[in-house]
Amino acid sequence: METPSSSLLSLALVLLFSFVLAALADVHENFLQCLTLQYSQNTTLISQVIYTPNNSSYSSVLQFSIQSPRFLSLAIPKLLVIIAPLYESYIQVAINCSRKHGMQIRVRSGGHDYEGLSYVSDAPFIILDLINLRSISVHVANSTAWVQVGATIRELYYRIAEKRTTLAFQLVFALLESMGEDLFWAIRGGSDASFGVIIAWKIMLVSVPSTVTVFTVRKTLEQNATLLVLRWQYIADKLDEDLLIRIILRRVNSSEEGKKTIEASFNSLFLGGVDELLPLMQESFPELGLVKEDCIEMSWIESILYFAGFPGGASLDGLLDRTPLTRRFFKAKSDYVKEPISEIGLEGI
């Protein structure tokens, strides 16, 4: 039987919850008014920038670049507004209104956010979605490009190849030295909130040959995959600087009906032709048994389609399509080992 004290406590909690909801609604409304007044009186334009749960497109905008749906249940109750600025000045307005009304901001750019940091918060918040800021300016003369943060890496590859097929982009580690580790940590979301909003990056481009070579050699456990992976661990970091070989491990059907096995895919890019590659492989990794028939020569930009899983002969225009070929929710984490995994360890895995 419920006692008078427990009834009073329940009533107090209900009243407190109702008060919090009402206060949150007021903050939400005041925040929206702040945005509306400062953006424009053009209601059509505003509808392209501000998305609330009342908008029919709210859910699709929220979920567009989410990699793992596990965070959605955490985000939705506290997410009040999604703002997708069309111009840089709109970002300033969003920040000013957020500060004025005590709103937290989560900034979302390209989409590789496996931990949900750009759309999850413990407090009521807004998402500043920079998807519309996606311009790319490639300068061939000095091998640089300015890239707005809403652009995808595929769009960047396409725009570079548009100007010159022998230019490419790779991660430049010197960035840390020129920027400083503390600042790099901060702008990547080093704490519970962002320290600033990056609008564009200036990147250096590198030269690549007109012809590159790719291959994918698949080996199962029955085809000595374990020993090949073991050997790869000892030579992968010592290969020619123009040669990259990575391994993708997955479970597949065995040749024995009803059984499963492990397949190791040796996936490679070489910055050069097949006639240069084969002697290198014979010297550094003969155990793989690479032959000319395993290799495909192509341009560097075509290799982007190859590694992205596009079918052979696909148009480069596919790189401009922001909708994935298949919608696969996933989560990834990088780690490093200092010592190669032993044969016994690999068999255990």
Tell me: do 181 and 298 sit in the same domain. Answer: no
Tell me: do 121 and 47 sit in the same domain. Answer: yes
Which residue shows structure tokens 């070489």?
270
Q: Which of 129, 157, 176 is the last residue of a domain?
A: 129
Q: Write out the chain's pLDDT in tens, 349 residues.
A: 555 555 554 544 444 334 444 445 566 678 788 887 766 555 556 677 888 888 888 888 888 888 777 777 766 667 888 999 988 888 988 888 888 888 888 888 876 777 787 888 888 888 999 999 999 999 999 999 999 999 999 999 999 999 999 999 986 454 555 666 676 666 655 555 556 788 898 899 999 999 999 999 999 999 999 999 999 999 999 999 999 999 999 999 988 888 999 999 999 999 999 999 999 999 999 999 999 999 999 999 999 999 988 888 899 999 998 876 566 777 777 788 889 999 999 999 8
173: containing domain: 136-207
Q: pLDDT value at position 249?
A: 94
pTM of this prediction?
A: 0.81
**Using CA atoms, how far apart are residues 92 and 185, in angstroms rounded to an integer?**
22
CATH code of the domain covering residue 279: 3.40.462.20
Tell me: do 182 and 219 sit in the same domain. Answer: no
Tell me: do 202 and 224 sit in the same domain. Answer: no
Q: Which of 98, 129, 160 is the last residue of a domain?
A: 129
Tell me: do 50 and 144 sit in the same domain. Answer: no
Tell me: do 236 and 325 sit in the same domain. Answer: yes
Tell me: do 65 and 170 sit in the same domain. Answer: no
Q: How far is CA 257 from the centre of its chain?
A: 38
Tell me: do 243 and 265 sit in the same domain. Answer: yes
In sequence order, what are the residues at sequence separation of 6 or more whose Cβ sits closer than 8 angstroms to the Cβ of residue 30?
Answer: 101
**Using CA atoms, how far apart are residues 217 and 227, in angstroms rounded to an integer?**
15
CATH code of the domain covering residue 106: 3.30.43.10
Tell me: do 222 and 343 sit in the same domain. Answer: yes
Q: pLDDT value at position 11?
A: 46
The three-state (H, E, C) secondary structure of 43-109, written as one string? HHHHHCCEECCCCCCHHHHHHCCCCCHHHHHHHCCCEEEEECCCCHHHHHHHHHHHHHCCCEEEEEC
| 164-206 confidence digits (pLDDT tens) | 999 999 864 545 556 666 766 666 555 555 567 888 988 999 9
Tell me: do 220 and 335 sit in the same domain. Answer: yes
Q: pLDDT value at position 20?
A: 41
**Cβ proximity of 303 and 314 under 8 Å:** no
Query: In the numeric block, which tokens belong to residue 143?
Result: 């091998």
The total domain count for the chain is 3
**Using CA atoms, how far apart are residues 66 and 308, in angstroms rounded to an integer?**
18
Q: How far apart are the first and last CA of the chain?
A: 56
Tell me: do 76 and 27 sit in the same domain. Answer: yes
Q: pLDDT value at position 58?
A: 86
**Cβ proximity of 82 and 126 under 8 Å:** yes
**Using CA atoms, how far apart are residues 143 and 246, in angstroms rounded to an integer?**
28
Tell me: do 188 and 263 sit in the same domain. Answer: no
**Cβ proximity of 254 and 236 under 8 Å:** no
Q: Which of 189, 207, 225 is the last residue of a domain?
A: 207
Q: Which of 168, 245, 267 is nearest to 209 (CA)?
A: 168
Q: pLDDT value at position 119?
A: 82
Q: pLDDT value at position 288?
A: 97
Residue 343: CB atoms within 10 Å: 12
